[in-house]
Structure 1
Amino acid sequence: MAKVSMVQRDLKRTRIVAKYAEKRAALKKIIADPNTTFEEMMVAQEGLQKLPRNASPSRQRKRCQISGRPRGYYNKFGLSKTKFREAAMRGDIPGLKKASW
């Protein structure tokens, strides 16, 4: 199990990203627009820098839904490698069989 504080910190980041998503998208659109004047672009960049650090989606970490483990994460299943193996052995994942040859 991952530390509870780390899992909670990641959940907090998820909420902050959702809260500032529209504002970030609008500022980034202004910055990327080729018709924007230099002054408008600078104001948009300053606005983007004034947002909280955790408003950036790249600061989020994908974690196992069961254990909260950040490493060895399979995106398709939402599980870490250990929990994925346990679930596969129990037959909890439909259509998945252990390889045998």
Structure 2
Amino acid sequence: MARTSVIARERKRKRLVEKYAQKRAELKANGDYEALDKLPKNASPVRLHNRCKLTGRPRGYMRKFGISRVTFREMASNGKIPGITKASW
């Protein structure tokens, strides 16, 4: 599991992106890049990184479910994800 400080940092970035989204869009549309440069760095959506909602794992993230592949496999094996079954042939 990821450190709680890393998970908290990512949450903080997400809030900043949401807070400044409207202002960033207006500044970009007007071409005012100097004012855009004065916004916080973490207000840019490029700085966000997808993380598992349960463990905070940054790699192997599955967008459709919002969790990592490891967590997905555990939950699927336990039958906690509806419609997902283990393949057998």
Normalising by the smaller structure, the TM-score range is over 0.9
Runs of 4+ in 1 over 2 A off after TM superposition: none
Per-residue CA distance 1:50-97 (angstroms, 9 max, x = gap): 111000011011110110101000000011011000000011111111
Distance in 2 separating the partners of 1:12 and 1:46:
24
Q: Percent identity?
A: 56
Distance in 2 separating the partners of 1:97 and 1:15:
35
TM-score (norm 2): 0.96
Q: Partner residue of 2:19?
A: 19
Name the larger-Rg structure.
1
TM-score (norm 1): 0.85
Q: State the superposition RMSD in angstroms.
A: 0.7
Q: How does 1:1-16 map to 2 (within 5 A)?
A: 1-16=1-16
Aligned length, in residue pairs: 89
